[in-house]
Structure 1
Amino acid sequence: MSNSDLANALLQACQQRGIMLATAESCTGGMIIAALTDIAGSSAVVDRGLITYSNEAKMEMLGVSAATLEAHGAVSRETVLEMAAGALARSRAGLALAVTGIAGPGGGSSEKPVGLVWFGVALRGGPVAAELNMFADNGRDFIRRETVRHALEIGLRALGDTHEMGVVP
């Protein structure tokens, strides 16, 4: 499925459940919310998209703690969990998706190489979960596009709509 098809499926899944959606994006810089709002009628489901590229923005807009950022860094499981929880807490959404990663070409290290992306998902009244993905270093555009795709897939999985992707749960 294309990213547009995945975005449409996620919007439909949210609409069927009567919930709104929020995003908290770092390495994608708004590409996830753009994929969703490119679709006509998305305003019935999309509440907000928060672009929190800097650590300061993560703290101010999402409530990510300075201690978390200092201890684990911006690209970490702990940070993405706080990003997802913060997006949910600061919105009317029932589903929040968060991403933070190293899109390259610079910024990578041996511990956090280019292509490493953490994904977070939070459902109102449910747990907050994180998932790590390591994309091939095929360039910044590739990593960001694949991050959008994977975030949309995670949203569908969180809502139990994996059949929309042709995946058997």
Structure 2
Amino acid sequence: MSAQEILDLARAEGVMIATAESCTGGMVAVALTDMPGSSHVLERGFVTYSNNAKKEDLDVTPESLSTYGAVSEQVAREMAEGALAHSHADLSVSVTGIAGPGASEHKPEGRVCFGLARKGFRTVTETRDFGAQGRDNVRRLSRDHALALLKRALT
């Protein structure tokens, strides 16, 4: 997955992108900003690691956090939609998950939820279980999947 491809596609369509990241800590935004010309496409990135940041910066509801937990498609949806609402972007991707170590009975290490929101389109969410591959691998796989979602939205 080439971040440059995403930038080229978004620029050709006149689409600005925002990211809303938790477990990846800004890795998606970094992948995009590593490329020349990213300032024409990346509007902003939100790193909302804590639940308070998710609520304050992206309008994730306390009810969603208490009912579904931070690692859920509902929260990923609200993060992606919140990124659009709090930016001038046309397209956003969100990432929230358990990179590890650690897991719970209901949410295993390596579970990551993604959201993709675009103005004029229905928000989509999905969950990937990458498994207990170690923190670095889960974060890298999550970054790459978020980039793939952006590319898919632009093609």
Q: Is residue 29 of structure 1 aligned with residue 28 of structure 2?
A: no
Task: Within 5 Å, give how 1:15-164 maps onto structure 2.
Answer: 15-106=11-102, 108-159=103-154, 161=155
Q: Does 1:9 align with 2:5?
A: yes
Tell me, in whole angstroms, the C-alpha distance in 2 between the residues paired with 1:112 and 1:35: 27
Which runs of no fewer than 5 residues in structure 1 stay unpaired? 162-169
- Give me the whole-angstrom Cα distance separating, in 1, the residues matched to 2:105 and 2:146: 24
Secondary structure at the aligned position of 1:111 is classed as coil
Q: Secondary structure at the match of 1:64?
A: coil
Normalised by the length of structure 1, the TM-score is 0.90
Gaps of 5+ in 2: none
Whether the aligned pair in 1 keeps the contact of 2:7 and 2:37 (CA below 8 Å) is no
Distance in 2 separating the partners of 1:133 and 1:110: 17
Aligned mates of 2:133, 2:68 — CA distance in 1? 26
CA RMSD, aligned part only?
Answer: 0.8
Q: Matched residues in 1 for 2:119 and 2:6: separation? A: 16
d(CA) in 2 for partners of 1:101, 1:55:
12
Q: Deviations over 1:80-121 (max 9, x none)?
A: 000000001111111100000000012x11210000000000
Within 1, Cα distance between the matches of 2:123 and 2:86?
15
Specify the code of the residue in structure 2 equivalent to 1:92.
Answer: H
Query: 2:79, 2:115 within 8 Å by CA — same for their partners in 1?
Result: yes
